[in-house]
Amino acid sequence: MSKLSASLKTLINSPAARPHTVPAPPNIGHVYRTIQQTAAANKVSQPSWLALSTAATMTMNSPNSLAALYHVASNTAPNSAVSSAELMREVGLKCISFNGIPRTINCLNAFRASLPEDITSQLSTTPTRTPTAENIAGISARGRALWDSIYRPFEKKLYEKLGTSHPDLPVHILHANYGALLSDPERETGASAGRVLTSLVAVACLRAQTGVGPQVLSHVFGLRKALEDGSWASDVESEEGARWLASDEGNMWILESVDAIVEAISGGMGSNFAPARAKL
């Protein structure tokens, strides 16, 4: 195998390229507790505030902050320590559809390493999304159902419009993302992030990224449509909590919670997902 020159290694790891994950700020636990308290006051479940906080934190590439988030969640609901870790892993996986693969790999690896052994020993090790000849049609059907729920009444028009950009763009989005990843397979192990939680993940990731306002708007509407078509009922949220999340007040809380996480992790510098490029 060829070796890289010292100068090339230096360039790859240049501080201007921000090659490393982001440390947890001292106040991040307080930020998460504030989000949790507001959620509880509005009858929003722990999985919902934990999902949006996990997604925003993953987008900001701060695995140490994920560890702090888990600490808050497990202290809030000690009997759900394992299920909280499972949910955070599942949300991290779904972040791939919005943030790409690298941040999920780095954050999930570090997150697992931060967990106590008595928790990691109980986490699922069984994959649940392996495609086979027998389930591939079902995967596509799940993806279409989720797509239609989020984008109706424009689901067909949007699919066709995406195809004008590249004929395989809507194919990949629908089957590889909405089908294989964002929709939940039938399973008896691990955690599920259902219809409401998936919309929360989408809004949180996209808001934390910046620069994708149309997609944020689209998924805010997607969250509201879960109330309109009744698909919220298959998720973990109560009707009262789901209705509040889909209201103007709830939508603003979601966005402001993400903004607070970004503000804390960035030290007031804003999103690090696609910042203005510094000079090398």
User: What is the per-residue pLDDT across 49-101, written as a single tens digit (0 to 9) for each?
Assistant: 999 999 999 999 999 999 999 999 999 888 899 999 999 999 999 999 999 99
What pLDDT score does 275 carry? 67
11-35 pLDDT, tens per residue?
999 998 889 999 999 999 999 999 9
What pLDDT score does 276 carry? 55
In whole angstroms, give the CA distance from residue 111 to residue 225: 32
142-174 pLDDT, tens per residue?
999 999 999 999 999 999 999 999 999 999 999
Global model pTM greater than 0.85: yes
How much is the average pLDDT of 176-193?
Answer: 93
Categorize the per-residue pLDDT at 279 as very low, low, confident or very high, splitting at 50, 70 and 90.
very low
Interhelix angle 81-94/195-209, nearest 10 degrees: 60
Cβ neighbours, 10 Å, residue 152: 15
Cβ neighbours, 10 Å, residue 217: 12
What pLDDT score does 277 carry? 52
- Output the six-digit token pair for 260: 């607070």
Nearest residue to 23 (alpha-carbon basis) of 59, 60, 73, 78: 60
In the chain, the percentage of residues whose pLDDT exceeds 90 is 90
- Output the six-digit token pair for 155: 């689901």
pLDDT at 188 over 90: no
CA 165 → CA 143, 148, 150, 159, distances in Å? 20, 20, 21, 11
Mean pLDDT, the chain, rounded, equals 95
What pLDDT score does 78 carry? 85
What pLDDT score does 238 carry? 92
How much is the average pLDDT of 262-267?
Answer: 96
Exposure b/e, 93-116, CB count within 10 A at least 16 = b: bbbbbbbeeebbeebbeebeebbe
